[in-house]
Amino acid sequence: MVANAELFDLSIAHMDCDAFYASVEKRDDPSLADKPVIIGGGKRGVVSTACYIARIRGVRSAMPMFQALKLCPEAVIIKPRMDVYVEVSRQIRAMMEDLTPAIQPLSLDEAFMDLGGTARLHGAPPAVMLARLTKRMKSELGLTGSIGLSHNKFLAKVASDLEKPRGFSVIGKAETGAFLHDKPVRLIWGIGPSAQESLDRAGIRTFSDLLRWDRLALSGRFGSMGDRLWHLARGEDKRRVSAHEPVKSISNETTFHEDTGDPDILDGHIWRLAEKVSDRAKARGLAGRVVTLKLKRANHTTLTRRVTLREPTQIADTIYRTARAVFDQSAQQAPFRLIGTGLSDLCSASEANFSGDLLDPQAARRAQAERAADTLRGRFGASAIVKGRALR
Amino acid sequence: MKISIERGALLKAVAQAQSVVERRNTIPILANVLIEAEGDTVQFRATDLDIEVVDKAPAQVERAGATTVAATTLHEIVRKLPDGALVTLSADSAAGRLSVEAGRSSFSLATLPREDFPVMASSEYQSNFSAPAKVLRRLFDKSKFAISTEETRYYLNGVYMHVSDGDGGRVLRCVATDGHRLARIDADLPQGAEDMPGVIVPRKTVGELRKLLEDDDMAIAVSVSETKVRFATPDITLTSKVIDGTFPDYTRVIPQGNTKRLEVDASEFAQAVDRVATVSSERSRAVKLQLDEDRLILSVNAPDSGAAEEELAVAYGDERLDIGFNAKYLLEIASQVDRENAVFLFNSSGDPTLMREGNDETAVYVVMPMRV
């Protein structure tokens, strides 16, 4: 493990599972153990996770599948089994909850944890507890993760990435300046290619370049990002590990194997997506007032249409009908390669009292039927009852 | 072109024109007003391609002609000129400028050639009739609050003006609904309107029309075709395309069998609703009505902000009923009542409720309840 003078004083951690989806697949099918495995959808899709063997060949997340296959033709491609990953993620979360209630998940396979003040409770400092966490993940779940431990979120996340896989890296306060000095600024989460470009133009490549700028000049040139950069350059990040990051929107999308303009097929997709969005809203007790339909055309241009409803909804039928009406207005732009629906302007479902629709007296009954179907699915599984529409 | 015109007359004419002009415009000429001077009148014309307004005013025309100039700029200038000023507009087409002079002020505005200005094609109207401003004002004022803003049901984005069978024979009827509330207003059928095709008058047109209807006794000339509608006073002509769509069959929406009758002073009711709704949640605005023998309890219970309750003495003789509504909808329909008590007719807490003024069947409102 690591030696660091501050090792037992640091309490902000970032845990990132190693090649999460691929590791789950390898765990569940040992014959995959020494094969390159890529998780992703179809020949038109993109790589969502590549195992470390595939990564050695140059395969990366978000790479188009055909390119990945060129680099690694013998790779085993597996369609993501989201329900399994969600379940495993929940198990990991439960283990983290044994350490601290202050957990901020960033996705299924990574989360921030604040272990401040837990040393007395556990009788061991955070560093020890985190080491136990990864050990437990390995023994009970057969999965590995990398830990970054530091004095704030920014550095914890940077640290977890230093020695992947199975890493445990620590950045102490004293060494922060020296550590960052010649590191590139693209290390900062949220600095994408376009931000990188504008930083390049200002001659900023490394953290030491940033240190040469004074605070006003940075915020003058880069706005609110400038001020944040000034702090990060000094290894400062005041953001708290917040367990309750409010959800701003819920959306789902799907990319087709082949571009399609077939209204029946698209209708089926709109329904399934509406149902997924609705399921997630119901699971979280949320309702939304804005329904979004996203369409990507064959030439990759994206069309996004938003409709504001009079009252918030979480009902799949309403989301579907709204998205469908908007779709009908854009259908002549077909064929499409991707379709998505979303729900935003969210509020608690208890506020989503709805007054029925005078012109659509059946709407209330359909909503009732949907809730009845939800109850059945809750009891007998998601496929206990499906709409004919969903089978198209 | 060179004209002199009194500031008040000019302001009135330009104000009407500039309100039709869309603030955000991709076609520059549509931001302009077309000024045409001939004989002893000057005419201002503005359009957003769906609505066209033409406003005439008397002026001293020294040199006939026409030009176009930015409507909002001209309006702003005239608005800021002192009352009673004599304004001179003279166009220099070679320089592409319009000079505006009044007293010691002078302005020079950029113009665009009149030839570029789109003039709405005239059409054949199937029906021409005249109606007093007062009658049209009531028809549209009492219905427009229910117009929908939902783009997906674009055919609800206006007032459906048509001829129908009312209580005492054929009527001129205006209906608007957004699916949550509905207004149905009737007026005696004006002579000559019998064959009028039903048209959906767009929301913006309804707003512009309102400005023509201030003078109670003014006779408004109405012309209707399948695609256009025109309202005219001697000075102003408002022409508009109508919404190309089918208005839904609203008759089946109006409840016939509601028997539970509540009679209440409309303004007392509205004030009480307004008061309790202060604590309602921003999104749902739900207000609960508890009806019992001659007693109405209005209440709001919003977990996040608080609770409120108010009791009203009312006339109610049916069985106990609890029903919820969106406070905004209740306020809007209650504020339509101006002479008599508001009469609500309920069926159950899940069915549409009907509201009218006393026993007046010429103004009927329907509102959907809300789960509370």
Instruction: Answer with the residue of higher pLDDT: B303 or A174.
Output: A174
CB contacts of A355 in chain B (<8 Å) are 180, 325-326, 329, 367-371
pLDDT of residue B219: 94
Is residue A325 within 8 angstroms of chain B, CB to CB?
A: yes
Residue A352's pLDDT band (boundaries 50, 70, 90)?
low
Residues of chain B with pLDDT under 70: 282-284
CB contacts of B180 in chain A (<8 Å) are 310, 355, 357-358
Is residue A350 within 8 angstroms of chain B, CB to CB?
A: yes
A-B C-beta contacts closer than 8 Å: 63
Q: How far is A348 from chain B (nearest CA, A)?
A: 10
Q: A350 and B303: CB-CB below 8 Å?
A: yes
Residue A106's nearest CA partner among A84, A94, A89 is A89
Is 50 exceeded by the pLDDT of residue A26?
Answer: yes
Mutate to test the interface with A, among B152, B281, B349, B353 (most CBs of A within 10 A): B152
Q: Could you give phi then psi for residue A172, rounded to 5 degrees?
A: -85, 165
Task: Write out pLDDT tens, residues A144-160.
Answer: 999 999 999 999 999 99
Q: How far is B288 from chain A (nearest CA, A)?
A: 12
Task: Write out pLDDT tens, residues A277-301.
Answer: 988 888 778 889 899 999 988 887 8
Task: Write out pLDDT tens, residues A179-226.
Answer: 999 999 888 877 777 788 888 888 899 999 988 888 888 888 887 788
Q: B284 and A311: CB-CB below 8 Å?
A: yes
Q: A311 and B325: CB-CB below 8 Å?
A: no
CB contacts of A354 in chain B (<8 Å) are 370-371
Is 80 exceeded by the pLDDT of residue A138?
Answer: yes
Query: Nearest chain B Cα to A309, which residue?
Result: B150
Cross-chain CB nearest to B368 (options A347, A352, A355): A355
Query: Nearest chain A Cα to B350, which residue?
Result: A356
Choose which CATH entry (3.10.150.10, 1.25.40.10, 3.30.70.660, 3.40.50.2000) describes domain B260-367: 3.10.150.10
C-alpha–C-alpha distance, residues A343 and A352, integer Å: 13
* The amino acid at A161: D
> If interface means Cβ-Cβ distance under 8 Å, which residues of chain B face chain A?
150-153, 156, 177-182, 248, 253, 281, 283-284, 286, 303, 324-326, 329, 350, 352, 366-372
Q: B284 and A289: CB-CB below 8 Å?
A: no
Residue A291's nearest CA partner among A238, A336, A249, A247 is A249
Indicate the average pLDDT of chain A: 86
Query: Nearest chain A Cα to B372, which residue?
Result: A353
C-alpha–C-alpha distance, residues B4 and B42, integer Å: 10
Is residue A358 within 8 angstroms of chain B, CB to CB?
A: yes
Q: What is the pTM of this model?
A: 0.67
Is 60 exceeded by the pLDDT of residue A353?
Answer: no
C-alpha–C-alpha distance, residues A326 and A273, integer Å: 14
For chain B, how big is the Rg over CA atoms in Å? Answer: 25
Angle between helices A126-136 and A82-97 (to 10 degrees): 150
CB contacts of A364 in chain B (<8 Å) are 350
Is 60 exceeded by the pLDDT of residue A323?
Answer: yes
Q: How far is B67 from chain A (nearest CA, A)?
A: 39
**DSSP sequence for A342-384:** EEEEEEEGGG---B--TT-THHHHHHHHHHHHHHHHHHH-TTS
Domain boundaries, chain B: 2-116, 127-252, 260-367
pLDDT of residue A1: 45
pLDDT of residue A244: 66
Does residue B172 contact residue B220 with C-beta atoms inside 8 Å?
A: no
CB contacts of B329 in chain A (<8 Å) are 355
Q: How far is A115 from chain B (nearest CA, A)?
A: 31
pLDDT of residue A245: 60
Average pLDDT over residues A121-133: 92
Is 80 exceeded by the pLDDT of residue A98?
Answer: yes
Average pLDDT over residues A333-348: 88
Residue A336: alpha-carbon gap to chain centroid: 24
ipTM for the whole complex: 0.71
Residue whose pair of structure tokens reads 């609960």 in the numeric block? B288
Cis check: omega of the bond before A335, within 30 degrees of 0: yes
C-alpha–C-alpha distance, residues B195 and B173, integer Å: 13
pLDDT of residue A342: 93
Is residue A355 within 8 angstroms of chain B, CB to CB?
A: yes
Instruction: Answer with the residue of higher pLDDT: B283 or A236.
Output: A236
Q: Strand A47-50: give its sheet, edge to edge.
A: A47-50, A37-40, A76-78
Query: Nearest chain B Cα to A355, which residue?
Result: B370
pLDDT of residue A351: 66
C-alpha–C-alpha distance, residues B14 and B55, integer Å: 8
* The amino acid at B75: H
Fold classified for B2-116: DNA Polymerase III; Chain A, domain 2 (3.10.150)
Q: How far is B253 from chain A (nearest CA, A)?
A: 6
Mutate to test the interface with A, among B353, B368, B370, B372 (most CBs of A within 10 A): B368
Mutate to test the interface with A, among B283, B348, B349, B355 (most CBs of A within 10 A): B283
C-alpha–C-alpha distance, residues A152 and A374, integer Å: 42
pLDDT of residue A189: 78
Task: Write out pLDDT tens, residues B201-215.
Answer: 999 999 999 999 988
Fold match, B127-252 / B260-367: yes
CATH of domain B127-252: 3.10.150.10
